[in-house]
Amino acid sequence: MIIGKVTGSVVSTRKNENLVGNKFMVVEPVASMGAAGSLVAIDNIGAGIGEYVLVAQGSAARIGCQMESAPVDAAIVGILDDPTAWSKS
């Protein structure tokens, strides 16, 4: 799981039928996570641009958004209430 900041959204008019009706967001991992580059994550919880989120990847992403049969590799599974709290420890 990684912490990242939502920096934008993705619009796709043609996609796998299991993904129809879902929202996709661009997430930039925070530097301390050690992940490079942005990723696209499915968003079933209503994250907005500028919010810090928790992102699950791989099979945990599909399970976390109840889409076990969909081609999902990253899912937003939480919105951080205090985005600075994780960096204070």
Whole-structure pTM value: 0.83
Q: Is 72 part of any domain? A: yes
Domain harbouring 58, CATH code: 2.40.50.220
Domain count for the chain: 1
Q: Is 48 part of any domain? A: yes
Better pLDDT: 20 or 75: 75
- Domain of residue 62, residue span: 2-11+22-83
Q: Is 79 part of any domain? A: yes
Please give the torsion angle defined by the CA atoms of residues 40, 50, 5 and 9, in that order, rounded to the nearest 10 degrees: 0
User: In the 3-class helix/strand/coil scheme, how is 9-70 assigned residue by residue?
Assistant: EECCCCCCHHHCCCEEEEEEECHHHCCCCCEEEEECCCCCCCCEEEEEECHHHHHHCCCCCC
Do residues 28 and 87 make contact, with C-beta atoms less than 8 angstroms apart?
no
Mean pLDDT, rounded, for 7-26: 86
pLDDT tens, residue by residue, 31-41: 776 777 899 99
Decide if pLDDT at 47 tops 90. Answer: yes
pLDDT tens, residue by residue, 49-59: 999 999 998 87
